[in-house]
Amino acid sequence: MKINVIENVLKYNKGQADKNRKLFKGSNILVLNLLSSPGAGKTSLIIETIKRLEGKKNIGVIEGDISSTYDAEKIGKLTSNVVQINTGGTCHLNATMVAQAVSKLKISNLDLIMIENVGNLICPVGFDLGEDYKIVISSVNEGDDKPVKYPPVFIKSNLILLNKMDLIKISDFNQSFFNKKVSELNPDSEVIKISCKTGVGLEKWINWILSRSKDHNG
Amino acid sequence: MKINVIENVLKYNKGQADKNRKLFKGSNILVLNLLSSPGAGKTSLIIETIKRLEGKKNIGVIEGDISSTYDAEKIGKLTSNVVQINTGGTCHLNATMVAQAVSKLKISNLDLIMIENVGNLICPVGFDLGEDYKIVISSVNEGDDKPVKYPPVFIKSNLILLNKMDLIKISDFNQSFFNKKVSELNPDSEVIKISCKTGVGLEKWINWILSRSKDHNG
């Protein structure tokens, strides 16, 4: 019975995700679903991205947390177009939560929505939100074995951002091991090395976004 | 219906956890359930604990992961009394998984079982395994806001180990903010600052274990 319930939940979620996708597509909005462990740097990445795209792209942000408005307050210093979802304990966002949040965003003329999922490397992976791309942020200090221990998120993500590269010299992180394991799981994926602290790699990340942005006149 | 199913799952789990607890108590084994985000240092902590208790305490280890035997292989270099649980994607250990793992451990004369839960700061909290203590390992590089963003694990844990203190000087981690938020959530909890890399605080951690160990002749 548990399995049936889970199947029903996922089927219902897929239907709502398809509705979200249709809305995003019709509005020419690029939507990114950001996944990571707690503290890997999702919020910092969003902040640095907003700063670098200021005047170029209109951005909306959806912040997912089990409780608190801590991250939305941080983002709120840069843009008023941010909505906090509190899941009330649930370990992932789902498409219905995102639909409700989107209804509170000002979406006219929006180019990009960044969704910060709940900090959890496992559960959010299975829930389609209607996004264009899933992006996993893995940080150097979590260790190079994350692809080995948490394969699904690396298999399902379109891009891997390896964050906190400023710590690489004082860590025992083996970059070739990490890259090898990622490419075994997901040969089509790309790894961009970044540091939200020093700015390393962020230009490449911004170009990744820009090359995927949708043309409002297209 | 979903809620009923979850309630049934938790009720069933509690029954099995009580059986585990009875076995552990009858065998005078101290059992620790180690919880953390991916990469916060659970495996390193277990390794350092085994090294420091060698010749003093007989230790068994249960390694929980969604897949791979990576961590059990690391621990296996120090002790043969280690069992890997692969949850097959499930985001937490439950009491039945632990019962099965314990049946594969050599438990006669065992003083201590360390259970490394799946790397997830949310889902494992709700599942009683029959342990004596829940311990959360939070690492400096995850940031000082973890108690604000993930309250349940800090509320339910008996001890907070703040790991990777070797990185504190190059981070913007605010120790008084972290301690304040932890004590607001859980006034009875204790925070021990450690570094598995430098050894800082590990003597205090070992003493914490020793003072809670059960007397086999008691």
* C-alpha of A214 from chain center: 18
B35-45 confidence digits (pLDDT tens): 999 999 999 99
Is residue A175 scored above 70 in pLDDT?
yes
Contacts with A165 (C-beta within 8 Å, 6 or more apart), sequence order: A140, A193, A194, A195, A198, A200, A201
Q: How far is B80 from B131, CA to CA, in rounded Å? A: 22
* Interface predicted TM-score (ipTM): 0.93
| Radius of gyration over every alpha carbon of chain A, rounded to an integer in angstroms | 17
Residues in chain B closer than 8 A to A122 (CB atoms) = 66, 89, 91, 118, 120, 123
CA-to-CA dists, residue B130 to A59, B33, B214, angstroms: 47, 9, 16
B113-141 confidence digits (pLDDT tens): 999 999 999 999 999 999 999 999 999 99
Are B71 and A149 a contacting pair at CB < 8 A?
Answer: yes
A56-108 confidence digits (pLDDT tens): 999 999 999 999 999 999 999 999 999 999 999 999 999 999 999 999 999 99
**A123: distance to nearest CA of chain B, Å?**
7
**pTM for the whole structure:** 0.95
pLDDT value, residue A214 = 82
**Do A111 and A214 touch, CB atoms closer than 8 A?**
yes
**Do B107 and B6 touch, CB atoms closer than 8 A?**
no
Nearest to A167 by CA among B121, B191, B48, B39: B39
A186-209 confidence digits (pLDDT tens): 999 999 999 999 999 999 999 999
Smallest Cβ–Cβ distance between A89 and the set B139, B148, B152 belongs to B152
CA-to-CA dists, residue A94 to A85, A196, B120, angstroms: 10, 27, 18
**Position B93: which residue type?**
L
Are B68 and A148 a contacting pair at CB < 8 A?
Answer: yes
Are A141 and B167 a contacting pair at CB < 8 A?
Answer: yes
Any CB–CB contact under 8 A between B7 and chain A?
Answer: no
